[in-house]
Amino acid sequence: MRELAKKSKAKKSYVQKAYLDRFPYNLVNSGNLEEYFQTLTDFKFLAKKINHPELGVNALIADYDLIDEPPLEREEEPPQPPLVRGENLSLNPEKVKVLKLVQGALRLSAHVLAKDKTQFAGQLLGRMQCFDVPEIQQLLSQAKQSKTTWLHPLTPSLTPPGGQLLRTLSGHSSSVNAVAVTPDGKQAISASADKTLKVWDLATGKQRLTLNGHSSRVTAVAVTPDGKQAISGSSDKTLKLWDLATGEELRTLKGHSHSVYAVAVTCDGKQAISASRDNTLKVWDLATGEELRTLKGHSNWVTAVAVTGDGKQAISASRDNTLKVWDLTTGKQRLTLKGHSDSVYAVAFTPDGKQAISGSSDKTLKLWDLATGKQRLTLKGHNHWVNAVAVTPDGKQAISASRDNTLKVWDLTTGEELRTLKGHSDSVTAVAFTSDGKQAISASSDKTLKLWDLATGKQRLTLNGHSYSVTAVAVTGNGKQAISASSDKTLKVWDLTTGDERLTLNGHASSVDAVAFIPGGKQAISASYNTLKVWDLATGKQRLTLNGHNHWINAVAFTPDGKQAISASRDNTPKLWDLATGEERLTLNGHSSRVTAVAVTGDGKQAISASCDKTLKVWDLATEEELRTLKGHSSQVTAVAVTGDGKQAISASYDKTLKVWDLATGEERLTLNVHGSSVTAVAFTPGGKQAIAASYKTLKVWDLATGEERLTLNGHASSVDAVAFTPDGKQAIAASGDNTLKVWDLATGEELLTLNGHRNSVKAVVLTPDGKQAISASWDNSLKVWDLATGEELASFSGDGALECCAVAPDSVTIVAGERSGRVHFLRLEGIKASP
């Protein structure tokens, strides 16, 4: 019976796979296009195919291509006339458009769904809510009925389909430094700081091969004209030749005395030219691996190289601010091109070899006439270094990659900027075109590659959010509103019920680095460089600008009644502000170096400031009097906190100690030694009986009554970047650069749980008000919700860029997360009951 049951199960599994695999094909093949449309807009069918272990998202994406070409007939069937091509296309064009949008959304999320199928509903909603199309809204309505625990995006905060971004290729564990495309446009080869190269199928986004062999970061890659081999350059000072069919390393080319930064191959595939940090270029015979000649002339690192289509000339870019044109037959230097005011990092020839375009850390590109050596055009638009440049096969356009996280497309006749491509969350390091010039692939320090459609020229919509990194986010006490601060100089107020942007608060002249709600929740205060601003959250109007500091503001604290704020600045002073009038009530002079932190006692009568002058000062806020100076630290004081009763303060310092102070007498009660590393953060546990300090890889817990170091919590392999406590103060949750979170028992020091799942540094952690779940935000682009009783990952949501911060509303299920890209995600945790 058991054997029969096994066979029955196997047969059922086979039948299900066959159904999921072949059903769309069979529908198109039989001309049943209406049912084909219904099937590919049915959430249950899509979810089943994505979740099938032998099929998955790429098999589903391929189903949508059946309406572009007639399916290939199987040999046992008689040929069928093409039913879905040209004039025979019987599916309504609007329905074809719907199918292509769904396919586009799946393609954009393929790199996420390949790793985590549970995110299907969230990814679909995040990308498609903006389309007011009945069939799409019906699909999303089905997605919302998902029975699992999942994170539901309240707004369309992910890149939608139909625009220029087609796909993200994810797989490298560090910065992607270079990319090349095979001549047939079917494959891309990427080079990474993780010491590997990867070969990708551009149609499916699948990783075909990983090429291991370099002993340091791989910085350059080029493909031979026949598409059969690739050559890579590395910081290990070598180049390696690879077989792209098998992944085999064919040979290693040695000769450079420092890192290889760039490589190019001649049109006949016989020679390669490498550029190095040793200030030289070398020409290599690829058949033998022999070094043919060394090209000397640059006075600094050679950062890029390109070869003309006829293989007779090369052009090199250097940190000596110049480009040089070389005769490859003789090795002689033909021209030196001067004009950039800083290092040149990129260069490419136009297809006719008559012009070259260069990119520089002076933020510009320049187009050069190679007959005369004169500069034809300067292309301005990037606001950071230009890392790479490529020219379309017809020579009419160029695309540049920059440290400003964008790519730009330029008209080479007029110098006009045609469009900007946004999507990467870190510096864009490289770019290459497919052979038809219709697509480009970019590489980035965000560890991904992105495939772009240059033919559309469309930006589907502008996503709600900031235009630069979100630096902070906070939620009102009633859970109805959130406010985000950004490097784009603005703040935004959001409705947490709908995720709608209520207000944009403009007024700061620099990055907004901090934001907080003033007690009462009707106003917010923001800090930017040397000013603070107070905002009315009902109207969005700027009530007050608090000017007075002449350097960066490092910290802000409030008096308990919310009527006053005290700021700490690099100008060596704290200042006390009246939040009703904006008047600067007090400037507290006394510190001889920048003030790093400030705290206010619970009765609002005193403030304690910490400074790089190694001291803390206690101030009477009524009289402006400096009550006492707390001396004892031997290095700068970085943090200060006050107990709830206002009787004690604890300070942290780069001298690797914490000190507990009696605020009535100024006496140093305790010195708590943190061996081995500086203290990066300090806090009191709820109740104020213990102090906890983060110090690189460890946390230490002290009993404040005795000064005894109760616990050292070891376990993290990298820095501890954030700590949160359960409401009862019994547990701490630490987020680390080692990609994990750890849950600690503060009574015993026992590591209760390690929360594994993130693939990059965890930058923020918050707890739900009931203390049952932890929410973490990571540079791997994901936000995760964890069950603190079991350590189980309850739900995950992946954004399009690294996440910097997060907050949770009092209902425990509404979550706000800020991306480095500037986007703000509003998520609702489904499948968990909201707190009353």
Give the per-residue pLDDT at 418: 92
Residue type, 410: W
Instruction: Quote the CA–CA distance of 128 and 131 in Å, as a whole number.
Output: 6
Instruction: Note whether residue 548 is domain-resident.
Output: no
The domain that holds 333 is classified in CATH as 2.130.10.10
Give the per-residue pLDDT at 463: 54
Give the per-residue pLDDT at 9: 53
Within this chain, do residues 384 and 264 fall inside the same structural domain, yes or no?
yes
Instruction: Note whether residue 576 is domain-resident.
Output: no
Instruction: Note whether residue 373 is domain-resident.
Output: yes
Instruction: Note whether residue 91 is domain-resident.
Output: yes
Residues of the chain falling short of pLDDT 70? 1-12, 69-90, 457-465, 467, 477-479, 496, 499, 521, 675-682, 834-836
808: nearest Cα among 780, 779, 835, 778: 835
Instruction: Note whether residue 750 is domain-resident.
Output: no
Give the per-residue pLDDT at 348: 94
Within this chain, do residues 260 and 376 fall inside the same structural domain, yes or no?
yes
CA distances from 217 to 79, 221, 232 (A): 53, 12, 11
User: How many CB atoms sit inside 10 A of residue 585's CB?
Assistant: 13
Among 394, 420, 453, the domain-final residue is: 453
CB 29, CB 71: distance < 8 Å: yes
Residue type, 482: A
Within this chain, do residues 140 and 263 fall inside the same structural domain, yes or no?
no
Within this chain, do residues 262 and 208 fall inside the same structural domain, yes or no?
yes
Give the per-residue pLDDT at 73: 39
Within this chain, do residues 236 and 174 fall inside the same structural domain, yes or no?
yes
Q: Which residues pair with 167 in a beta bridge?
A: 451
Within this chain, do residues 29 and 123 fall inside the same structural domain, yes or no?
yes
Within this chain, do residues 135 and 217 fall inside the same structural domain, yes or no?
no
Within this chain, do residues 127 and 172 fall inside the same structural domain, yes or no?
no
Among 453, 482, 500, the domain-final residue is: 453
Pairing of strands 333-338, 322-327: antiparallel
Within this chain, do residues 134 and 262 fall inside the same structural domain, yes or no?
no
Within this chain, do residues 142 and 204 fall inside the same structural domain, yes or no?
no
Instruction: Quote the CA–CA distance of 110 and 412 in Å, as a whole number.
Output: 34
- Residue range of the domain that includes 336: 165-453
Cross-sheet strand order for the sheet of 481-486: 470-475, 481-486, 491-495, 501-505
Within this chain, do residues 187 and 102 fall inside the same structural domain, yes or no?
no
Within this chain, do residues 407 and 279 fall inside the same structural domain, yes or no?
yes
CA dihedral 506, 382, 176, 273 (to 10 degrees): -170
E strand map for 648-800: 648-653, 657-662, 668-673, 681-684, 690-695, 698-703, 709-713, 720-725, 731-736, 741-745, 751-755, 762-767, 773-778, 782-787, 793-798
Give the per-residue pLDDT at 496: 67
Instruction: Note whether residue 531 is domain-resident.
Output: no
Query: What is the value of pTM for the model shown?
Result: 0.80
Instruction: Note whether residue 306 is domain-resident.
Output: yes
The DSSP element (H or E) to which 313 belongs, if any, is strand 313-318
Give the per-residue pLDDT at 119: 96
| Domains identified in the chain, total number | 2
Among 431, 453, 475, the domain-final residue is: 453
**3-state secondary structure string across 319-377:** CCCEEEEEECCCCCEEEEEECCCCCEEEEEECCCCCEEEEEECCCEEEEEECCCCEEEE
Instruction: Note whether residue 485 is domain-resident.
Output: no
CB 640, CB 651: distance < 8 Å: yes
